[in-house]
Structure formats: C-alpha cells, structure tokens
Amino acid sequence: SYELTQPPSVSVSPGQTARITCSGDALPKQFAYWYQQKPGQAPMLVIYKDTERPSGIPERFSGSSSGTAVTLTISGVQTEDEADYYCQSPDSSGTYVIFGGGTKLTVL
Amino acid sequence: QVQLVQSGAEVKKPGASVKVSCKASGYTFTSHYMHWVRQAPGQGLEWMGIINPSGGSTTYAQKFQGRLTMTRDTSTSKVYMELSSLRSEDTAVYYCARDRALAPYYYDAMDVWGQGTTVTVSS
C-alpha cells in the first residue's frame, strides 16, 4: 500500500532553520499538505498545495517540492513551533488520502 | 466564523458500535466535503474516509470498509461517523475536518477541524 515517509524527529535551536521532508512515489502527481499539531490540540493546516500558506500562518513557514519529495521549511524557528508535523496527500489514483507518520520537531 | 463542533466522549464495550456527530456552522454545509480522521494514543493521524454532504456519497479507507458508515443530515448541518464491531485498537480521538475545495471538487487541504471526540473501547 502507498506510504508517505517522514523522519520521526528533527531538532533545531531557536532562530535556526528546520527542514522536514516527506517522500512518496505519487508526490510528483499529487499535491502535498502539511499540518502542525500541538499536544492536546487538533491539527492545523500550515501549507497547502505544496507551497501555499493559509492566511494567518507566519511567513517563516514555507513549502517546496522536488520529484518524489516535499519539504516543510521553518525559518527562524521559535519555541512555539515545537510540535508534531504531518504531511498528507492523496494516493496516486486520487482515491484515498494518506498521512505521513509524523515528525516531532524539538526546539532545543 | 467557520466552526465544526463534535459530540462528547464515548466509552464502549468491545463489539459495540459508536456514532459521533459533527455540526458545521459559518458556511454553506453542502459546499464542502467532510473527512474523518482518527488518532490513537501516542500515534499519528489516520484517514478514515470522506463524505459529500450534498449527495451523501462516501469513500472509505480500505481498512474500515464493512465497519464504517458516514451519513449526513442537511437539515441540521451535521455529519455522522459510525464505527461498528469495536475493538480495543479503535480507542482514539476522532476528528471531522472540512475539505478546503468547493464541491464538486475535493481532496484539497483539511482547513477546518473539529475539537475531537475521544472514543474509549474497554471491557
């Protein structure tokens, strides 16, 4: 079955740049979406259609795409960015929705 | 403001069924498809399926086919998720989430989420 692969964890210091990757064979054909989830809260959309940022999301959040991978970049990381991040995309047929396993971002 | 409000926590015995509701407000209910996503304790997000609030058509993840039923009531702007033959592994927080695209399009982002409903399956 189709999978989206993310690293389990990423650690950065405040002010540095965090990059979280998500890989999947269908990503050249399907858009990817990124969600931030803090403990005890519902997920929140931070990037849609690979690179677009919803209103209200800080400019330090950006997305990019290259081949079978997409990347969420957080520039000038702040302590409040510490959270779990999930990528999501339809499968290659566009029939089902898949989530990556999630990446825990730790801000040291 | 656009809002999704879900029903309260449930405790069920193995083999039982659970039905969770999600009430939409602040937008035209039939204009956006609705997803259901669950999260087991300490685990990641798992997509369960999607419903078209206008016509009622559904697509379920293969894992849940035969046990999952999604319905909607346009008179109350509510969607429902019913999961049957519950087992301990179904213990999770269940979320409804609006699809960002305007119907008839779907499988865009999930831009609005409910607060989550905790379902506990225990004997």
**pLDDT tens track for A32-86:** 999 999 999 999 999 999 999 999 999 999 999 999 999 999 999 999 999 999 9
> pLDDT averaged over chain B?
97
What is the predicted pLDDT for the residue at B14?
Answer: 98
The reply to whether residue B110 touches residue A44, judged by beta carbons under 8 angstroms, is: no
Residues of B in contact with A102 (CB under 8 A): 44-45
Residues of A in contact with B62 (CB under 8 A): 1, 96
pLDDT at B103: 86
Supply the pLDDT for residue B102. 85
Which of B60, B94, B107 to probe the A interface (max A CBs under 10 A)?
B107
Any CB–CB contact under 8 A between B111 and chain A? yes
Q: pLDDT tens, B26-84?
A: 999 999 999 999 999 999 999 999 999 999 999 999 999 999 999 999 999 999 999 99
CB within 8 Å of B44: residues ≥ 6 apart? A84, A86, A99, A100, A101, A102
Radius of gyration of chain A (CA): 13
What pLDDT score was predicted for residue A2? Answer: 86
* Phi, psi values for residue A79, rounded to 5°: -60, -30
Question: What per-residue confidence (pLDDT) applies to A1?
Answer: 81
Mean pLDDT of B95-119: 94
Distance CA A66, CA A47 (A): 16
- Rounded to 5°, angle at Cα B113 from B18 and B118: 35
The fraction of chain B above a pLDDT of 70, given in percent, is: 100
Could you say which of A1, A42, A48 has the minimum Cβ distance to residue B100? Answer: A48
Q: Strand, coil or helix: what is A25?
A: coil
Contact: B109, A98; criterion CB under 8 Å = no
d(CA B39, CA A65): 27
A35 vs B contacts (CB less than 8 Å):
45, 110
